[in-house]
Structure 1
Amino acid sequence: MLSKLSQNASMQRFQSQAKVLGHRLMDHHVSLAVTGLSKSGKTAFITSLVNQLLNARGSSELPFFSVVSEDRLIGVKRDVQPDVTVARFAYEQGLESLNSEPPRWPESTNGVSQVRLLIKYRNQSRLRRLVSEHSTLTLDITDYPGEWLLDLPLLELDYLQWCQNFWDDLHDPIKSSLAENFKAELATLDLTDTADEMQIQRISEVFTQFLHNCKEQGYQLIQPGRFVLPGELLGAPVLQFFPLTPTQLKWVTENQQKGEQSALFGLLNSRFEQYQKKVIKPFYKKHFKRFDRQIILVDCLSALNMGAHSFNDLRKAINWLLGSFHYGTSNILKRIFSPNIDKLMFAASKSDHITPEQQSNLVMLLESMIHEARQHIQYEGVETESTAFSAIRTSQVGSSALNGEPIQVLKGTTIDGKTITLFPGEVPKECPDQSFWQHQGFAFPNFRPMPKSDNKIAFPHIRLDHVLQFVLGDKLE
């Protein structure tokens, strides 16, 4: 019975892959990577994007999405799960949260999930109209925890290099103070002892708590990512290792030169290699080598609120992520055998948490954060764009006066249910220097979703139609 079920699952995977291959050949398939770190709004973004597309026929909410504005969209529907081994994206649960009383944000991602949409439209291209008046674009969207993304660069490191990087990062005084308990536990480790798995587990738990504390303090570059969001690996030995100190590593190296081995070092080194081999690589191969369009969501405002350490860490993390994807122009052969990402959008999320005249500043700030990485990507022939958007609008814009001068203000409801009206402050136009943080004057709020109007089917948004046009517009001609 189990064998028959396994054969059926294998056949479904083969049929799905063959279908995708045919669509790639006809350029009727888009695999979209929605990338971002924790709390950047990925789950809310995908929920809103699916909601907008399913209700886009005749919608007035997407004026800059050409297939809608030109009245060529016939309809959109969900299709069967593209990969039967991956969870179904929790769209219905997201809608339930957003439509509850009071509205709540959807639960954050804690595993990999996917959704497939079929977009049927009237062809505009003369070449396509020679074949058929209508076409259907298959859109696959993959959602995954932001924490797991930061593990991809670890594939380029060995255990010794990873340890060295960890202690280099502790030059940051805030991180160093957060690591005091871990450093104290590490000092009790005798590398001449036999490998004690219970001791390894105990120190790993202290190390994991350090990573959680860093995350709570606004740090973005948390590695290994599975330690703070383990998913199905909770309690597994592959998540029980930690970095040794430079002094300890020097001792290990000197003894290895004498032909002496440390069983404890061997176990930690092996666990790190197994983490690369059995956790990171399968995740990367399964989900990241087939993307051909990408949206990177960046929550600049929360990082600004947290301070210089959080903002600088976010900037570093984004540039790490950009090195983990395949970028380059695409053609038919590449689409079939080795597709690359040929369109990349950088999107500053939560633009409804600032006043409209500050949104251009937010875009400029984002561009200054990614400037160097973006130059390299554009050199590879990738089309890029930056924008500020809100997947689900949470505030209303009003006016007030300050020192006799008119100013824009926002009105919204905080997560704890308090209605406030405020001017959040100005967004810097470029990455701030150290002096900026001593005199900054902003406090960007964290609003909860607004109740959806009775006469509205889709959620209110800011520039989600621009995002859709950039990512899908050329595929719907």
Structure 2
Amino acid sequence: MLSKITQNSSVQRFQDQAKVLGNRLMDHHVSLAVTGLSKSGKTAFITSLVNQLLNARESSDLPFFSVVSENRLIGVKRDVQPDVTVARFAYEQGLESLNSEPPKWPESTSGVSQVRLLIKYRNQSRLRRLVSEYSTLTLDITDYPGEWLLDLPLLELDYVQWCQNFWDDLHDPTKSSLAEDFKSELNNLDLTGTADEMQIQHISNLFTQFLHECKAQGYQLIQPGRFVLPGELVGAPVLQFFPLNPAQLKLASDNQANGENSELLDLLSSRFEQYQKKVIRPFYKKHFKRFDRQIILVDCLSALNMGAHSFNDLRKAINWLLGSFHYGTSNILQRIFSPNIDKLMFAASKSDHITPEQQPNLVMLLESMIHEARQHIQYEGVATESTAFSAIRTSQVGSSILNGEAVQVLKGTTIEGKAITLFPGEVPKECPAQSFWQHQGFAFPNFRPMPKGDNKSAFPHIRLDHVLEFVLGDKLE
């Protein structure tokens, strides 16, 4: 009996893999990665995207999504989980939060999750109509914690290089102040003594506390990412290491030159390497190399609110991320055996937190942040697009008088439940110079979701149809 179950399971896996390969060959499969750093709105975005597609035939507002505007969409339904070893995206829980009283935002990403949709549509392509009037596109959407993404470039470093990068980064006076407890305890470490597991755990906890405090202060480039969002690795020794300071590294190097090895250095180096081999590399191999479409969500507004250090760190983190993905135009063989990302969208989220006339500025600001990395990506033949959008609209636009002139204002409800009307300020059109931060005059609020009223309708949004058209439009012809 057990052997039959095992055989059936194996057959099912083979059939699923064959189906995916067949769909890729016929160009009927899209693997979409939704990435971005914490608080960029990934969970709300995927919840709204799924909600829009499931309701696209009846109640969604998607005028720029061609398969809908041309009345070729037959229907959309959820399919079984594509990978049984990966968590199911919490769509129902997200709906429950957004439809609660008062409405709440869904819980943020804490691990990898996936959702599969089947999109049935009437063919527009003559070639496809020769085969069948209808086709079905399989769409796999995968969500990742932003902190984990920032670990991928660590694969290019050894332990000493990572330590050097850390201390170079600590020239930032704010970060240096936040690291006082960690630095103090590190200075008391005897590099020539026996490695003490409890001492290593204690200093690792102080290092982790420092990373959490950096994140709370608005810093975006937090590494190693699993230290602040460990997932299933809570308490594991693979998360118990830390960077030695330059003086300690020099002492260890001098000792090694004299034939004296450091047990502590060997242990820390070993754990860093194990983190690369057993945490980062499997994560990359299992997920990242199979994507063919990608959306990177960027919360520019929160970074502007936090100040120059947060904005500059966000810019650095995004460009850091872009070097970790596999870009390039895919031919048929590549699509089957080694998919590449051939379409990439940069999306500035929460555009409903600014007035409509400021939204073009937000797009230009985003483009200025990614200009250099984008040039390289386009050279590789990848189609790119930048937009500002809101997955779930939370504000209404009104008008008021400011300094004798009519201005647009926003009306919404804060997270705490207070109704407000305000002009949030102007968004810079490009990455600001240092002098900008001394005179900046904006305060972009955090709104709670508006009550949807009708549970059968799709969520109100801004430009989500543009996002769908860019990512899926060419696959639904």
Q: TM-score, normalised by structure 2?
A: 0.98
Which aligned pairs between 1:34-113 and structure 2 lie closer than 5 A? 34-59=34-59, 61-113=61-113
How far, CA to CA, are the matches of 1:285 and 1:342 in structure 2?
18
- 1:448 aligns with 448
The 3-state SS of whatever aligns with 1:329 is coil
Q: CA deviation at 1:256?
A: 1.1
Does residue 14 of the first structure (1) align with residue 14 of the second (2)? yes
What is the CA distance between 1:13 and its match in structure 2? 3.2
Q: Do 1:392 and 1:459's aligned partners in 2 also have CA atoms closer than 8 Å? A: yes
Q: How far has the Cα of 1:331 moved from its partner? A: 1.3
Q: For 1:231-250, what aligned pairs fall within 5 Å after superposition?
A: 231-250=231-250
Alignment of 1:401-440 (within 5 A): 401-440=401-440
Partner of 2:222: 222
Q: Structure 1 residues 360, 183: closer, same or farther in 2, change over 3 A? A: same
Q: Who is 2:290 aligned against?
A: 290
Partner of 2:204: 204
What pairs up with 1:337-352 in 2 under 5 angstroms? 337-352=337-352
Q: Secondary structure of 1:289's partner?
A: helix
Alpha-carbon contact 1:58-1:68 (below 8 Å) kept = no
Cross-structure match for 1:120: 120
Q: Residues 200-257 of structure 1: CA distance to partner in whole angstroms, max 9, x if unpaired?
A: 0000000000000000000000000000000100000000000000110011111111
Matches within 5 A, 1:119-198: 119-198=119-198
Cα distance, 1:453 vs structure 2 = 3.0
RMSD: 1.2
| Aligned partner letter, 1:22 | G
Change (3 A) 1:196 1:10: farther
Please give the residue correspondences for 1:300-379 in structure 2 after superposition, counting only pairs within 5 Å.
300-379=300-379
Distance 2:246 2:228 in 1: 24
Where does structure 1 lack aligned partners over 5 or more consecutive residues? none
* One-letter amino acid matched to 1:432: P
Question: Residue 108 of structure 1 aligns to a residue in which SS?
Answer: coil
Deviation at 1:456, TM superposition (A): 6.0
In the other structure, the counterpart of 1:29 is: 29
Moved more, 281-290 or 452-461: 452-461
Q: Which amino acid aligns with 2:13?
A: R
Quote the Cα distance in structure 1 between the aligned partners of 2:104 and 2:364: 30
1:393-424 alpha-carbon deviations (Å, 9 max, x no partner):
00000000012210000000000100100000
> CA contact under 8 A between 1:328 and 1:340: conserved in structure 2?
yes
Cα distance change on mapping 1:6 and 1:107 into 2, 3 Å: farther
Structure 1 residue 14 displacement after superposition: 2.9
Partners of 2:10 and 2:268 lie apart in 1 by 36
Residues 114, 142 of structure 2: 8 Å contact kept: yes
Kindly indicate whether residue 249 of structure 2 is the aligned counterpart of residue 275 of structure 1. Answer: no
Cα contact 2:44–2:105 (8 A) shared by 1: yes
In 2, the alpha carbon distance for the partners of 1:378 and 1:7 equals: 46
Deviation at 1:428, TM superposition (A): 0.2
- Counterpart amino acid of residue 279 in structure 2: V
- Maintained 8 Å contact 2:52/2:60: no
Give 1:113 shift.
0.7
CA deviations on 1:118-176 (whole Å, 9 max, x unpaired) are 00000000000000000000000001111100000000000000000000000111101
Partners of 2:11 and 2:313 lie apart in 1 by: 45
The secondary structure found in structure 2 opposite 1:218 is coil
The alpha carbon displacement at 1:60 in A equals 5.0
How many pairs align? 477
Shift of 1:454: 2.7
> CA separation in 1, counterparts of 2:415 and 2:472?
33
CA change 1:303–1:6 in 2 (3 A) is: farther
Unpaired runs of at least 5, structure 2: none
Equivalent position amino acid for 2:85 in 1:
T
Name the SS of the counterpart of 1:397 in structure 2. Answer: strand
Alpha-carbon contact 1:424-1:443 (below 8 Å) kept: yes
Q: 8 Å contact 2:329–2:380 — kept in the other structure?
A: yes
8 Å Cα contact 2:219-2:310 kept in structure 1:
yes
**Residues of 1 paired with 2:156 and 2:5: CA distance?**
38
- Name the CA distance, whole Å, in 2 between partners of 1:235 and 1:2: 35
**How far, CA to CA, are the matches of 1:240 and 1:188 in structure 2?**
18
Q: Secondary structure at the residue paired with 2:68?
A: helix
- Using the alignment, how far apart are the partners of 1:279 and 1:175 within structure 2? 26
Q: For residues 274 and 177 of structure 1, do their structure 2 counterparts lie closer, same or farther at Cα, with a shift above 3 Å needed?
A: same
Distance 1:128 1:148 in 2: 40
Deviation (angstroms), 1:7 = 5.7
CA 1:34/1:208 → structure 2, altered by over 3 Å: closer, same or farther? same
Per the TM alignment, residue 8 of structure 1 is displaced from its structure 2 partner at its CA by 5.2
Q: Which residue of 1 aligns with 2:383?
A: 383
Q: CA deviation at 1:280?
A: 0.3
8 Å CA contact 1:43, 1:106 repeated in 2: yes
Contact 1:293–1:343 (Cα < 8 Å) also in 2 = yes
Which one-letter code corresponds to 1:145 in the other structure?
A: P
Distance 1:33 1:7 in 2: 32
DSSP 3-state at the match of 1:421: strand
Q: What is the aligned partner in structure 2 of residue 459 from structure 1?
A: 459
- Is 191-200 or 124-133 further displaced after alignment? 191-200
